[in-house]
Amino acid sequence: MKKITKGQTATRSMTVTAAHVKTFAELSGDYNPLHFDEEFTAGTKFGKLVAQGGLTTGLLHALVAMDLPGPGTVFLSQNWKFTAPVYIGDTITAEAEVLSVHASKPVTQLGIVIKRQDGETVLEGEAWCYTFTPKTS
């Protein structure tokens, strides 16, 4: 397992597709018309179909579990806010920065930001994570 230190960063990107939105709805039951009904969404401030927030935050789950802190990591808590919509077709990039590392436990505090391809921040906040390691015999 790699040593986690304050200031480390990692990023992960994905392009959100209509198939992602459909699959997320099938898994979660979130069939909000904002995600599927173009006529409905045209009459809102969004103007076009938006992705479920769970797709946006799902990118963070992958980032934490696979990149930083990495395999074996789970969220203990999250405190973030959505600051702009993610539209179908957007490429979003999540970045995590290590803000602190607990001195005696595998606990890490992360600063979190997700931006669209145009540079606009769509989510920001922080999270606390715990990294499990296999028991050795």
Residue 74 makes CB contacts below 8 A (sequence gap 6+) with: 64, 65, 129, 130, 132
Q: Does 92 fall in a domain?
A: yes
Give 81-137 pLDDT, tens digit per residue.
999 999 999 999 999 999 999 999 999 999 999 999 999 999 999 999 999 988 876
- What average pLDDT does this structure show over 12-32? 97
Tell me if 2 is assigned to some domain.
Answer: no
What is the C-alpha separation between 124 and 80, in angstroms, rounded? 5
**Number of domains present in the structure of the chain:** 1
pLDDT digits (tens, 9 = 90+) for 72-89: 999 999 999 999 999 999
In a domain, 125, yes or no: yes
Structure-derived torsion over alpha carbons of residues 133, 125, 61, 26, reported in degrees to the nearest 10: 150
Cβ distance 89 to 19 under 8 Å? no
Q: Does residue 53 sit within a domain?
A: yes
Phi/psi region, residue 89 (left: phi>0; alpha: psi -120 to 50; beta: rest), is left
Q: At 1, is the pLDDT very low, low, confident or very high (cuts 50, 70, 90)?
A: low
Predicted TM-score (pTM) of the model is: 0.92
* Domain-embedded: residue 3: no
DSSP H or E stretch at residue 35: helix 33-36
In a domain, 108, yes or no: yes
pLDDT, tens only, 59-76: 999 999 999 999 999 999
Question: Is residue 63 situated within a structural domain?
Answer: yes
Q: What is the CATH number of the domain that holds 101?
A: 3.10.129.10
64-67 contacts at long range (C-beta below 8 A, 24 or more positions apart): 64/96, 64/110, 64/127, 64/129, 66/12, 67/10, 67/11, 67/12, 67/96
Write out the residue range of the structural domain in which residue 39 sits: 9-131
136 in any annotated domain: no
Q: Who contacts 117 (Cβ-Cβ below 8 Å, separation ≥6)?
A: 90, 91, 92, 93
The closest of 107, 8, 113, 99 to 59, measured between CA atoms, is 113
Q: What angle do CA 91, 7, 131 make, to 5 degrees?
A: 80
